[in-house]
Amino acid sequence: MKRQSRRTLIQCIAAVAQNAYIPGFLQGVIYQGRMKLLCVPGLNCYSCPGALGACPIGSLQAALSGRRGRFPAYVLGTLVLFGVVLGRLVCGFLCPFGLLQDLLARVPLPKGKVPRWLDKPLRYLKYVILVLLVVLALLLHEPAFCKYLCPAGLLEAGLPLTSLNPQFAGLRGPLFYIKLGVLLAIVLLSLWIFRPFCKYLCPLGAFYGLFNGVGFYRLQVAEDKCVRCGKCAAICPMDVDVVRHPNSPECIRCGKCRDVCPTKAISGGFRCK
């Protein structure tokens, strides 16, 4: 099985495993068992009818927005653990919303890229959102990112819950439709641009990206094998210059650069030095 097929299979298994509570989808209810105390690695809404664990960003927001002033040690510790061990490998292999964008990218429509002069500053937007979600949660005492922006929350929780359970139908107010507009915009952009949410808006990807250069999983380019053909940079869906920055914060470890390298100069794993 080719590397990209294996990756897609792992993504599907991860998405199903994180949302395996079948009664939730049948009855329109939210699982509230003991497993919900655990954070999953990717962006996967706590309120999804099938969700067995909690989204780390949602958990962080909930802890910070609480009025009791508790320090979210467990959530931050979990995020750092995922970051140190995996970095943005989480984005490439374990995030359900990343899988959705990957599947949309396969729709046979003309593809494009955001112009470099606009793309570069937009990449910093996710870091601004990462900082703001912390600040706003502390100041407003509410999970601002989850409430106003997160498209995964609407897709995985808002739409199925309000459709499956009449008790939630009344929650479709103005905010619901604003977030629906955000979700539709991301879906449409994903047909044209590879992973626009991951590139520009995802605070979880921004956090994990901070660990790409120092975490256990690394990419390595063998200088003696590299012929500077540029194929790795050309095929990279996240527009990373692999030779110069193999462990860029933007790299989601998809492995496409390794597949296309004619001299097998690019390697990756938990033991690369």
Write out pLDDT tens, residues 127-162.
Answer: 999 998 888 887 878 888 998 899 999 999 999 999
pLDDT of residue 255: 95
- Dihedral over Cα of 11, 202, 121, 107: its sign: positive
Q: What is the mean pLDDT of the chain?
A: 92
pLDDT of residue 67: 61
Dihedral of the alpha carbons of 7, 21, 34, 211, in degrees to the nearest 10: 20
Could you tell me the two tokens for 192?
């044209």
SS3 266: strand
**Interatomic CA distance for residues 273 and 270, integer angstroms:** 9
pLDDT of residue 83: 97
Asked whether residue 85 carries a pLDDT value surpassing 80, the answer given is: yes
Interval 206-237: pLDDT, tens: 999 999 999 999 999 999 999 999 999 999 99
Asked whether residue 272 carries a pLDDT value surpassing 70, the answer given is: no
Scored b (16 or more CB within 10 A) or e, 223-257 reads eeebeeeebbbeebbbbbebbebbbbbbbbbbbbb
Helices 56-65, 73-85: crossing angle, 10 deg rounding? 150
**Interatomic CA distance for residues 64 and 28, integer angstroms:** 28
pTM: 0.93
Interval 169-206: pLDDT, tens: 777 888 899 999 999 999 999 999 999 999 999 999 99
Could you tell me the two tokens for 85?
């061990």
Q: What is the DSSP letter of 50?
A: T
φ, ψ for residue 221 (rounded to 5)? -110, 120
Q: Name residues whose C-beta falls within 8 Å of residue 243's C-beta, 6 or more positions apart in sequence.
A: 221, 226, 228, 232, 233
